[in-house]
Chain A
């Protein structure tokens, strides 16, 4: 296990090094002078030259690359052009909200996806299965921003059940804050629950065909016991895989959802940075979000071994 962990950590370092390289490449394929692009057409030549110096753009590309890697290793992501603070600080301020949103959405997606997937597999071929499978497919085809806008229109604007958008006044309590996160979590959770549902269904179908499930049934065990104690326990690892896959969907979806609901999270930060061409912020967000993704996937691989005694590293 320790050896496996060390090997995985080493692999993670390699992937993160490549991630950093990709981020560097993206920031340097910009046609023209990035400093001029960032400051816009009204900037003077002096301003542009000053920004070039500040961003270290005067050095040659290989030198810039080494400097970039060096600062990434020290977790120094530079200064935002527009926010007047460091990228690390800006990300840290926004991260808790995005974390809450993604955790809520993940919980929702799992709570909807797994029971429906199990039900659908157990009742395979029935009317219920067909309706559920079709709705899951439809759920995965809905753009999350469209779900969000529709929710705003009906739940907030027409029925006044929930606040329209934003994150409440600065002195709002936890419960009040939560009301602002309900619709975003639904908009983000639904497409992902569809993915989890389909995967749960397929892995349950696999397991339900196993001999030991037939044996359990033949022994006369209650159907619920067979399904949950025998079958689902063994489908769990597969489901874990898909929850890991949805992490990427959730982190990406948060970018869109936060924009729809005007939530001041990391996603919102990224979108405004893209629209203003605030490259240091874009770079920092790319690095941090992919780093989180890689870490979560490592955590999931470790969890496999915990959940399934057959997995030995």
Chain B
């Protein structure tokens, strides 16, 4: 009897994080996506050791060479190895995405919680987010780049400004729902300070919607960064990103299609994987949606 009951009891005692992970991995698409992201991450972090060549090593005799055993993704207009540059590009493109997620989640959560909690500020803060969201992403980003400069930090500031309002909206919405719930009311009735209610009761419950939103912000900022680089308003071309590799490859496209294919595929695979993980997370966290799709 007790032998039979034991596994069930153990499953019930599994941590919520573990349950979530199990639900996620059960979907094949999410599993594949996580694998793709892992490969990208390893390629980016391990570039100095794993990359077959140096990202700046030129080989003019061997320029615009088609993909071969020596150069899997071919070489570019200076004879530099495209695979190597894609790996170093992953460093920058993924760092931009990650830093934008950190920046916009931090600022957006603060704005959203304040807006949902302090009624007097709600109207003003939400109109400001409305105003910021009235600019198309790329337009606001490029205008900010024109004002700020062209360093990695500037790109992160520009994209962080673009995506903060989106996070703020989600955080505010969730805060408004949560603060009407009984456990928050109970905490307030017990005399918990606003700070305690927010930090101990509210923030942990905001985690899952913010996590989902963070995945999408990651995906969008990789796309927008690529577009900025393509337009010549991103990180300077001396350091490779997926976007500026495509921009530089434009002229040679006719003779060397692999030059835009390789970084393009990196962008598509990463963004696709991030979106699939985001969708998977949302479904795993929201049982109602899981039933529907």
Contacts and interface: CB of A to CB of B under 8 A. Distances in A.
B143 A19 contact: no
Interface in B131-149: 131-140, 142-149
B219 interface: yes
Contacts, number: 140
A137 B223 contact: no
A30 B139 contact: no
Contacts of B219: 141
B128 interface: yes
B139 A137 contact: no
B212 interface: no
Point out which of A142, A202, A285 has the most chain B C-beta atoms below 10 A from its C-beta: A142
B268 interface: yes
Tell me whether chain A's interface is mostly helix, strand or loop, or mixed: helix
A18 B131 CA distance: 6
B257 A18 contact: no
A108 interface: no
Interface in A86-113: none
A64 interface: no
**Interface size range of chain B in the complex:** 35 or more
B144 A275 contact: no
Interface in A270-297: 270-271, 273-275, 277, 279, 282, 285-286, 289-290, 293-294
Interface stretch (B6-14, B42-50, B227-235): B227-235
Given A252-B138, A255-B136, A256-B231, A140 B226 contact: no
B138 A253 contact: yes
Contact of B267 (A146, A149, A251, A270): A146
A252 B275 CA distance: 20
Contacts of B246: 143, 145-146, 149
Contacts of A134: 29
Nearest to B144: A26
A237 interface: no
A71 B127 CA distance: 22
B264 interface: yes
Nearest to A289: B139
Given A145-B230, A145-B246, A205 B146 contact: no
B260 interface: yes
Contacts of B243: 143
Contacts of B279: 137
B25 to A, nearest CB: 18
Contacts of B272: 137-138, 141
A280 to B, nearest CB: 12
Contacts of A259: 230-231
B268 A150 contact: no
Interface in B212-230: 219, 223, 226-227, 230
B275 A141 contact: yes
The 10 closest A-B pairs by CB, nearest first: A252-B136, A18-B131, A141-B271, A290-B134, A141-B272, A252-B138, A274-B146, A146-B264, A19-B131, A251-B136
